[in-house]
Amino acid sequence: MELLNNPLVMAGVTIGVVLGGILGACSYLIWLERKLSAWMQDRLGPNRVGPMGLLQPIADGGKFLLKEDVIPDHVNKFLYLLAPCLSIITTMLAFAVVPFGPVSHVPGEFPFIIAPGIDLGIVFVFAVGSLAVYAIILGGWASNNKYSALGSLRASAQVVSYEIPLGMSVVGIALLNHTMSVEKILMYQAEQGFAGWNVWYQPVAALIFFTAALAESNRLPFDLTECEQELVGGFHTEYSAMKFAMFFLGEYTHVITISFLTTVLFFGGWQFPIIAEVGSPWFLKVGVLLLKVLSIIVLIQMLRWTIPRFRFDQLMGLAWKVLIPMATLNVVQVMCVLEFDVARIWLLPLSAGLFAAVGLISTQGSLPQRSAVAVQPAAAHGHGH
C-alpha cells in the first residue's frame, strides 16, 4: 500500500487501467455496432463465434495479428509505418486529462484521471487531438498512391475545418464555469446539481460540439475519409493487417474520448439526482458516468445507419456557413449575459431563438431559386407550318 502512495506508481496503474479499458471497450464496441446495425436492418449480425457472437472481437483480433503484413515496394516506409502509430498515440494521449470517475487528489486513492490538476485541460485535448490530422496526411502521402493522396487531402480539409466550431463551442462553457479545467467543470456541475448541468444553458453549444466531434472522428455522416461506395478506401487504401486495424482503433478511441467529453462538459459527468451526488460512493459515480458515455456511443452508432452521407460541398458548407457563425453568436450571447449580470437561465430561450434563426436562414439560403424563363414572342404568321 505504501507503494501506491508514490505518484509515479499510481500514474502507471491509472495508465494501465485506461489502456486496458479502452482497448477492450473498442473491441466490444465494434461488436455492439455490428449487432445494433443488424437489428436496425433486420439481420442477425455476428452469431457464430461464441454465444451471441461475443467471442467475435477476439477472433477478429487474432485475424489481424496473423494476417500477412504487406508493405508495398513503392511507399516511403518510415512515414508509412509512422502514420498508424500517430493515429493511436494522439487519440490515447488526448484522454489523459479526461476524468472517468470522481477525481481524487488524496495520495494512495485511485485518481480516476491520468493527469490531474491540468488547468488548461480543454486546450490540451484539442491541441493533441488536432495532431491526428498528421496521421491522415502521412498515411495518404507516404503510400505514393494518387487515390490515397486525394483522400488524405479531403480528410485533412474536413478535420481542420471542424476544429474551429469544435473549439468555439466550449468557449461559452469556459466563461460560465470560469475555468478550462475539465475536472473543475465537472465538479462545478456536480455541486450545482441537476439544474446546474451546462446543457441547460448551452444547448446550442452541445449540439455544435457533438456535430463537430463526429466530423473530427470521421464518423457517418462525416466519413468522407473512407467513402466505401467509391471502391477506394481513402487515405488508408494501401494498409493491411494490424496497420489497418490501428487506424480504426484510433477512430474508436476518439469516439470514446468525445463521448466522455460530451458527458463531462454538458451532462454533469457522474452526477445524477438521488443516485449519484457529491457524497455518494465512488462506484455509483463511475457507473452513472459510464452509462451516460455508453448512451452517447450508442447514439453515434445509430446515427451511422440513419443519416445518409453528406456531399463534400455540403460538409464544408455546414462547417463554414452554419456551425462557425452559430458558435460565434452563441459566445456573444454568453458574454452579454455575463456582462449585464442577467440570470443564466435566459441562455436557454436565447439559444433556442438562435438555433431557430440560423436554421431558418440556412434553409432559405439552400432553397433553389426559380429562374425567370424568357418567353419568346410568337412567330410571325408568315413562318407557320
Which tens digit of pLDDT belongs to each residue from 207-265?
999 999 888 887 877 777 665 556 566 777 888 888 888 888 888 888 999 999 999 99
Q: What is the mean pLDDT of the chain?
A: 85
Under 8 Å between Cβ of 305 and 40:
yes
Find the mean pLDDT for residues 73-96: 88
pLDDT, residue 204, reads 94
> pLDDT by residue (tens digit) across 172-185?
999 999 999 999 99
CB under 8 Å to 16, separation ≥6 — which residues? none
Query: How far is 114 from 105, CA to CA, in rounded Å?
Result: 11
Q: Give the number of other Cβ atoms within 10 Å of residue 106's Cβ.
A: 8
**In the chain, what are the domain boundaries?**
71-361
> pLDDT by residue (tens digit) across 354-363?
989 888 887 7
The 10 Å CB-count burial string (b at 16+, else e) for 348-359 is eebbeebbeebe
Under 8 Å between Cβ of 75 and 92:
no
Find the mean pLDDT for residues 329-348: 92
Query: How far is 239 from 83, CA to CA, in rounded Å?
Result: 10
